[in-house]
Structure 1
Amino acid sequence: MPAPVKLGTLLLLSGALAISACKTKPPKELPPEPGAPTSSTDTGQLGAAVPGSQADFVQIMAGQDTIYFDTDRYDIDSGDQAALAKQAQWLARYPAKRATVEGHSDERGTREYNIALGERRANAAKNYLVSLGVDPSRLSTVSYGKERPVALGSDQQAWAQNRRAVTVTID
C-alpha cells in the first residue's frame, strides 16, 4: 500500500505545481497614464516637456486640448472657440506637427448613433481649426462614440465629461 499513497501524493503535488505555473503575474511596469509622456524624447530635464511634443501640447493647453458639448449637440460655442484658438496657435508654432481630433459621446443611445455623433463633434472641431488657418491635411478625425469614456458613471456629471472632442498631436 505505500506505493499507491506515494503515487497519489506525487500526482497531487504535480497537479498543484501545474496550476501554480498558470498563475498570471502583474506586469513589471504599468503603461503610462493617458497624456503622459511616452518616451524620453517627450520630456527634458526636471520633467519639462520638449517643445513640440505631445507632452508640451498637453502642458501648454492646460486642459484646453478638450472641448465639451451639450447633449446631442456638436456646435462650437464661445468657450470651445477660445480653446480651439489656443490649439491653432500651438499648431502654427509647430507646422510639421499633425493632430487627430477624437470625437466622443456619453453612454446613452445606440453604438451607431454615438459613433456618428462623435464623428460630427470631431469634424466640427477640425473645421473650426481649419477656419483658423490650420492646414486640413495636418488634421485627421476619429470617432470613438461611447467606447472610451473618461468618466465612469451614469449621471449628469459623468455624461457631461464624456461628451467631448480631444485633440492629440502625432508625429
Structure 2
Amino acid sequence: MATTTTKIILAAALVATAGCAKKRPEVLPPAPGDGMTQPGTGMDNGGTTGGAVVPGSAEDFRQSVSSDTINFALDSYDIDPTARGILDSQATWLQQYPNVRVTLEGHADERGTREYNLALGDRRANSAKNYLAARGIDAGRITTISYGKERPIALGSDESSWAQNRRAVTVVLN
C-alpha cells in the first residue's frame, strides 16, 4: 500500500512540475533601435515624431555629435586624439541633456578567444566611460556592456574589417 501511495505522489509531483515549465514567447521583443513606435508616445525608438527630431532623443544625439562610435588600435583601449574629439562632442551634448542616460558598448574584432575579446570590449567601454566622466558627465548616467566579437559591423577577415569592429559605441537610452 505504501509503495502505491508513493508512486501516486511521485506521479502527481512530476505532472505538477511539467506544467510549470517556462514556455518561449511566440513573438520576441524588437531589437534595440529597429524604428518601432514606443507605446503611448507616438515617438519611434530613434526619437522622431512625425519626422521632426525630438531634442534629447537618440536621433538628436546622432545628428548633433561628430560620431556615436570611437575606434581603437589592435589590442588597445587607449583613447587617441580622434576618439577624444568624438567623446568631447558627446560630452557637450550630454551636458545639455542631464537626464539622458547612455550605454557604452565595447566591441572587438574576431581575432582572439571569446573571453579575451569580452574583457577587451569591457576595457574599451569603461575607457570611454571614464573619459566622459572626466569631462563632467555623471558616471551614474553611463552603463557599459561588452559584446566582444559577437556583434561585428564589418563581416570580413581583413585589416579594414577588423579596424571597424574594434570600437565603443554610445547608445542613448530613451
Please indicate the TM-score interval, normalised by the length of the shorter structure: 0.7 to 0.9
1:18-46: per-residue Cα shift (whole Å, max 9, x none)? xxxxxxxxxxxxx78x756443422134x
The SS at the match of 1:51 is coil
- Residue identity matched to 2:80: D
Match of 1:49 in 2: 53
TM-score, normalised by the number of residues in structure 1? 0.76
The structure whose residues are more often helix, as a share, is 1
In the TM superposition, residue 125 of structure 1 has moved relative to its aligned partner by 0.2
Counting matched residue pairs gives 139
**Does 1:109 find its partner at 2:112?**
yes
Identity of aligned residues (%): 59
Match of 1:122 in 2: 125
Segments of 5+ residues of structure 1 without an aligned counterpart are 1-30
Distance 1:35 1:155 in 2: 28
Match of 2:7 in 1: none
1:78 to 1:36, Cα distance in 2 relative to 1, 3 A: farther
- Structure 1 stretches of 4+ moved >2 Å: 34-40
Larger Rg: 1
**Does 1:77 find its partner at 2:47?**
no
In the TM superposition, residue 61 of structure 1 has moved relative to its aligned partner by 2.1
Segments of 5+ residues of structure 2 without an aligned counterpart are 1-29
Distance 2:34 2:128 in 1: 23
Residue 35 of structure 1 contacts residue 54 of structure 1 at CA under 8 Å; is this kept in 2?
no
Match of 1:135 in 2: 138
The SS at the match of 2:105 is strand
Residue 130 of structure 1 contacts residue 136 of structure 1 at CA under 8 Å; is this kept in 2?
yes
In the TM superposition, residue 48 of structure 1 has moved relative to its aligned partner by 3.0
